[in-house]
Amino acid sequence: MAVRQPRYSKEEFARRGDEIYEAQVRPQVEEGNHGKIVAIDSTRSN
């Protein structure tokens, strides 16, 4: 079985996740949820 290589480096995953969070997620969930965790699929475009 072939070993799959990651599509993005760890740094690129982090950058994409931060970008998605700031632009799309934060405005919807920030209020009243400080300190909680959110999962972001950074491999999807929308």
Q: What is the pLDDT of residue 6?
A: 81
Q: What is the pLDDT of residues 1-46, one digit of tens each?
A: 788 888 889 999 899 989 999 999 999 998 888 889 988 887 776 5
DSSP-assigned letters across all residues of the chain = -PPPPPSS-HHHHHHHHHHHIIIIIHHHH-TT-TT------TTS--
Place of tokens 């690129």: 12
39 lies in a domain?
yes
Question: Is the C-alpha dihedral spanning 32, 44, 5, 17 positive or negative?
Answer: negative
User: Is the CB of residue 19 less than 8 Å from the CB of residue 44?
Assistant: no
**Residue 26: which of 41, 15, 43, 40 has the closest Cα?**
40
- Count of the separate structural domains present in the chain: 1
Q: What is the pLDDT of residue 5?
A: 85
1 lies in a domain?
no
pTM here?
Answer: 0.68
23 lies in a domain?
yes
28 lies in a domain?
yes
Q: What domain range is 33 assigned to?
A: 8-46
19 lies in a domain?
yes
